[in-house]
Chains A and B, each alone.
Chain A
């Protein structure tokens, strides 16, 4: 029988306050197989670890249990300490008597009894633990960045500048994302394009970056260090290497459609580039708008194209790449105004959202920076800004705060006032949130010195009233109903995950929160990593955030990738599923249960095998395996059964 040592931590008073640590030691000391048990105030401290190491050597322990905090915190600490004195780290187990016991109980007697049960159950687990070694994995030192907004651009540049190759995939014809649509950025009022375009140009010329714009990731197979990525390159119908963006084709194209980049406020031709600084600087034919690629009804653009770049026969192409790490930077979209019934259902042209207003403010926008309302081009004299349009509204819309709207609305009002000095901006708000460097000062400037009227309250209804818009709201500070006849309304609609991200995340098997944003591995300590190894998160795909935060996080994700690439080998946790060949009958039930495609069928032996590099030890196959042939290393059915028996007092 294994010689087991148990070390009970008081964690100051975190555990000792509700668990009688001495009693746990006394009781566990008599448990079968336990040859040594002791307690200490802080096991994780240097003296605490030393105490464990000395006991392992002195008592010739084959396994140890540290009854302390959650294994997510100090399992590594104690396993490393065990390994240093020659005990296999997988013979060290943590009994969580803090988060799962002392912190959630008040009654000391009950909590102590529970701590004893938890510790006994972990002793039963440890008794059947095997000694394991991490699995070494070769890795491809090339990164994939999905999304070419500011987050993806920054992450790609940081990784590439460290000397590693990057493949940057963007679904739109140009990189730049939403930041390229913004006029000026808060709180410094830098021109957004002026600070973004140098980075875009850098991407296009960087020797280590391969840019695949107008492309989408359709499938990711493989595992951390060795992902096999399939990328769909959509046909532009224009040869990238030949087009010189001379613009001759625009002059002859007979089809004019709304320009998505201008959020429909401006127009473009069926052959187009979304905006002048687009990267790559190549025309694209919009297959839906073009008079007819299939069958070809018009070939005016091809006739005038001097470099002969137009190719109506271009087909979608699948590009396969192997990468070691993937940064997901798919960004956000604004909640469609169509979902806000109380605010006109998105049907009234003069009720616009924040990005529309950015385009109206932009010097390169559809109005060259003159603020005109979309319906009749009139310069609006009364503009109502509605904050939290759809945000912080758990009953009807989004439960969360979209974080950047308070600041951009303040900026909108300020810029409006500068362009239309005799105009009157009103801002309806619930709270004004300005946590950020220089943000509060900016808000004060807008609210106190620029003649912007802030009204604390919600807008209940907006509807057409003659030439203008009637805005019904309430000022909760005075308790009065407010009615404003406005020329235009700007809704600060909440941010939602970018269109198509739900499907992509499901395809990549990435965990999301209840709002569809990507989940991080730990909300505080691992904020830029996904729970799926090899995936890193940047920007608003993880939750609404502004530019400085996005850039910082993208740099963080990049440095995680660089850190990974700078290791000699990747080490994979050996807590994986294994198949007993003598028990497996090849029913294949486990194959579809595996979320990591880690199970493959061996035709010859009629059994299923586990690719241990792909296996993340989630246990789904163990539950699915109807013959019990699949077991998880060190969390076998036998172990779980013994643990349950102890807990139930059998």
Chain B
């Protein structure tokens, strides 16, 4: 049997997803026994023109990580869509927009202004900004266009499967690869490499009825290791996050940040978090409610940490 042709690509991402493939450990040997890697920028020296030269549909599987933030990201997404039989949005950024997606609270100009003008370490008296085209004696230099809005992969091209996680865990990744290698594919559009319940289902802590009188940030307390973090006032997104990660963060006393995205029946993870927290804040008077809510320093960053582009909100309105 011919080996499956597999590509990996990183768009707007930190690179963690690319490396996380290696979290499958020694199984990587089983993987390469059945698959031929045709593109993997983090690990192997292929060029874009190699992909461009391949016949359409010749790649069996592309694991695409990272969000779509620039024209280059978009070009590569479209390219891999064309060249691949199965395109997988691998990791939170490709699936939901991820951390880069939080940029949707501002726009290109807002970001440029911060990065090229107002950061304390920047000195840019000429107001130099990146240009898509720059003439130099040797010719024309080009940079990809930086978009106002970060999009998910599926908002850019048709996607076959979604693997959540920042990054996806090794066990789950192997399950997905195994399923693909064994041609044991689920229904198109499915979220794979994850469960159907929430992180609470995997969390070993004791859970009680919840009444929250105060929120506290995790670095300010040493939480009780056996009791639900949320009940201790630490904002934990596990209740509104799909399971599959094994509640790894929670087991080392860190709250869930929500990287596995919304559970199957939820569309907008942040809205669900707001609605659930609103139901358990234990206060009667508006002033007290406000006082408690003010203890969450950055609501959009907490509630939409990984999924702003994917959510119903998508971004701040551009006037």
Contacts and interface: CB of A to CB of B under 8 A. Distances in A.
A628 B272 contact: yes
Interface residues of B, number: 29
Nearest to B262: A628
Residue from B210, B228, B265, B278 whose CB has the most chain A CB atoms within 10 Å: B265
A40 B240 CA distance: 48
B263 A628 contact: yes
Contacts of A626: 198, 239-240, 263, 266, 272-273, 275-276
B267 A627 contact: no
Given A585-B243, A637-B265, A625 B201 contact: no
B5 interface: no
Contacts of A606: 201
Given A589-B276, A593-B279, A628 B207 contact: no
Given A582-B196, A585-B198, A606-B201, A628 B266 contact: yes
A113 to B, nearest CB: 24
B110 interface: no
Contacts of B240: 626-627
B30 interface: no
A624 B276 contact: yes
Contacts of B265: 580, 583, 627-629, 631, 637
Interface string B136-170: 00000000000000000000000000000000000
Contacts of A623: 275-276, 278-279
Interface in B262-319: 262-267, 272-273, 275-276, 278-280
B187 interface: no
B239 A592 contact: no
A259 to B, nearest CB: 36
A571 interface: no
Interface residues on A, range: 20 to 34
A587 B239 contact: yes
A603 to B, nearest CB: 11
B213 interface: no
Nearest to B272: A626
B184 interface: no
Contacts of A587: 198, 200, 207, 210, 228, 238-239
A592 B279 contact: yes
A588 B207 contact: yes
Nearest to B267: A641
A641 B197 CA distance: 21
Contact of B198 (A591, A627, A641): A627
A28 to B, nearest CB: 28
Interface string B197-211: 111110000011111
Interface of B: 196-201, 207-211, 228, 238-240, 243, 262-267, 272-273, 275-276, 278-280
18 contacts: A582-B197, A583-B264, A585-B197, A587-B200, A587-B239, A588-B208, A589-B210, A589-B239, A623-B275, A623-B276, A623-B278, A625-B276, A626-B263, A626-B272, A627-B265, A628-B263, A628-B272, A641-B267
Interface of A: 580, 582-593, 606, 620, 623-629, 631, 637, 641
